[in-house]
């Protein structure tokens, strides 16, 4: 039998958000790092505070530090870029620095396009933003998108000039994801409710916290149910007025901010329903994490929707009905079957990344 040899060590860098704060792309980077850790992967993270982990470099818009990091780590590296600097929100400083340094670095730059909002936002870009977007595309060697719609849009935007692969962002959970515990005060705060619903997002209209709260409030009143709603919010963007308005006089809504992923999983496991009311979604990792936690999902028709009860969030009655169905008559067998299906797909996606990075030949 031919012996499988471990591929040679490669210099691989993951670029982008890394928790804290927590969010879909930050969690993706953390999970991918955990799976690639045996290969000595580095992370260039644009975090609010300088990280303390030895494998994480603080990558921000400081010109001198950016040049130092690129020269120190980037030469002949494969850089898997999940950041917002090149395409999502074109950053003039970083794009110009890369234009000057990339011929010297001789690196392979792979851009992962995560954002489902990019196509609609691109149409509203200024001329300057579009100019730097086009300039940034000259720096990128290959692309990976997390869904087929983004792949088709990007292929059209690039005029078929670069290789584009499609790999969903769903990866097998990190070994530590399900091993955490909730602080006693959170457990006590939630213990009084007969039913618990969880939603994750930002206090911005796109994420639908307002519609979720109003729908559940109607259920509480019409069904006389003591439902508690947990909102897990990120802090990358907040509309303060919107936040205050949707939370006003609703003490049954509990908000937890930028909590560790292991605690998010614990809350999902406690929940009777997970609700995702976004208008735009690239994939929707949190919905799959809910299914993996044994929790049924009610969602808009955005991103991944298999095995979920769907609704139009602009149709309040339909939304309430969808939440009510999974709250009062959940199909646990279907949840388990879909969870197993997504676990298999997650393994395939991870292997696709390994193949793309030249870390496996299988």
- 227-255 burial, b at 16+ Cβ within 10 Å, e below that, comes to bbbbbbbbebeeeeebbeebbeeeeebbe
pLDDT of res. 236:
67
Give the percent of the chain with pLDDT over 90: 68
Arithmetic mean of pLDDT, 195-210: 93
pLDDT for residue 316 is more than 80: yes
Query: Tokens 């792309």 map to which residue?
Result: 25
The domains located in the chain, with CATH, are: 12-166 (3.40.50.2000), 184-342 (3.40.50.2000)
The dihedral over CA atoms of 175, 178, 179, 185, expressed in degrees to the nearest 10, equals 150
Helices and strands in the chain, H and E counts: 13, 13
CA-based end-to-end distance of the chain = 15
Rounded mean pLDDT, 166-192? 87
- Checking if the pLDDT of 3 tops 60, the result is no
Contact in structure between 97 and 69 (CB atoms under 8 Å):
no
pLDDT above 90 for 272:
yes
Per-residue confidence band for 2, with pLDDT thresholds at 50, 70 and 90: very low
What lies within 8 Å, CB to CB, of 194 at 6+ separation is 225, 226, 227
Q: What is the mean pLDDT of residues 328-350?
A: 95
Q: Of the candidates 54, 80, 15, 23, which has an alpha carbon nearest to the alpha carbon of residue 261?
A: 23
Confidence of residue 9 (pLDDT cuts 50, 70, 90): low
Q: 324 and 143 in contact (C-beta within 8 Å)?
A: no
**Reported pTM:** 0.85
């Amino acid at each position: 039998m031919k012996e499988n040899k471990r591929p040679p060590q490669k210099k691989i860098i993951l670029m982008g958000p890394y928790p804290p704060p927590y969010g879909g792309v930050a969690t993706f980077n953390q999970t991918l790092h955990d799976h690639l850790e045996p290969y000595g992967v580095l992370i260039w993270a644009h975090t609010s505070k300088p990280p303390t982990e030895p494998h994480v470099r603080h990558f921000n818009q400081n010109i001198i530090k950016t040049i130092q990091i690129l020269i120190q780590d980037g030469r002949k590296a494969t850089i898997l870029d999940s950041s917002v600097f090149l395409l999502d929100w074109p950053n003039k400083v970083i794009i110009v620095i890369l234009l000057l340094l990339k011929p010297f670095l001789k690196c392979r730059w792979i851009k992962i396009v995560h954002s489902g909002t990019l196509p609609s936002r691109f149409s509203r870009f200024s001329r300057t933003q579009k100019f730097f977007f086009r300039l940034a595309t000259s720096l990128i060697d290959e692309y990976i998108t997390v869904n087929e719609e983004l792949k088709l849009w990007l292929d059209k935007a690039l005029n078929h000039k670069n290789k584009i692969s499609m790999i969903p962002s769903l990866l097998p959970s990190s070994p530590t994801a399900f091993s955490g515990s909730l602080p006693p005060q959170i457990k006590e705060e939630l213990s009084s409710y007969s039913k618990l619903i969880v939603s994750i997002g930002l206090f911005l209209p796109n994420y639908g916290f307002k519609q979720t709260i109003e729908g559940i409030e109607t259920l509480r009143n019409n069904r006389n149910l003591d439902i508690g709603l947990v909102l897990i919010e990120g802090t990358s963007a907040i509309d303060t007025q919107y936040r205050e308005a949707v939370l006003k006089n609703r003490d049954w809504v509990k908000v937890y901010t930028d909590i560790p992923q292991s605690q998010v999983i614990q809350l999902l496991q406690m929940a009777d329903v997970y609700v995702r009311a976004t208008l735009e979604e690239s994939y929707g990792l949190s919905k799959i994490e809910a299914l993996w936690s044994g929790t049924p999902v009610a969602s808009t028709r955005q991103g991944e929707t298999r095995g979920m009860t769907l609704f139009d969030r602009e149709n309040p009655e339909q939304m309430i009905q969808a939440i009510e169905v999974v709250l009062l008559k959940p199909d646990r067998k279907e949840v388990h079957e879909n969870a197993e299906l997504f676990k298999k797909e997650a393994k395939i996606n991870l292997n696709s990344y390994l193949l793309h990075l030249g870390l496996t030949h299988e």
